[in-house]
Amino acid sequence: MRVALDTNVLAYAEGVNGAERRTVTLDLVQRLPQEATVIPVQVLGELFNVLVRKASKSRVEAREALLSWRDTFPVVETSSEIMLSAADLATDHQFGIWDAVILSAASQASCRLLLSEDLQEGFTWGGVTIVNPFASPPHALLSALLDNRSK
């Protein structure tokens, strides 16, 4: 099962919103199957802005964080097909265009899950279900993914 990560997951892993949230997020990310986890390129752009504006990181530090994530997980580029699909999603379901780009990229990458605390939990589109990775109890699909990983 393939999974995509939203900006908030990476931001928390970078220490935005405190050490406790960082620890929980890093534990989660380390348990994900590296070969089946992707990052939409839109997420990297948003992460850069969050690290510079909210976390007061220098642009050099933010760039280094992006490179580290890019080296850890494959990045899904935003093609014209993804953008047009995102425009349809934004029109039909009232998503913001950039959130729609992330969900569309996850779908194009054949992901089953998009891990996000910010988007509508349980919403499924293009074969991708949005799951809050911090919900308790965890979503059944996320539990299945993590359980399969530990075996």
| Angle formed by the axes of helices 97-108 and 41-53, nearest 10° | 140
Residue 149 pLDDT more than 80?
no
* pLDDT tops 90 at residue 148: no
Q: Pick from 131, 138, 116: which is nearest to 7 by CA?
A: 116
Rounded to 5 degrees, φ, ψ at 75 are -105, 135
Class of domain 3-150: alpha beta
What are 2-26's pLDDT values in tens digits? Answer: 999 999 999 999 999 889 999 999 9
Task: Return the residue matching tokens 């996850």.
Answer: 106
Rounded CA-CA distance 143/16 in Å is: 25
pLDDT tens digits, residue range 121-139? 999 999 999 999 999 898 9
- Entry pTM: 0.94
Residues 25, 47: contact at Cβ < 8 Å?
Answer: no
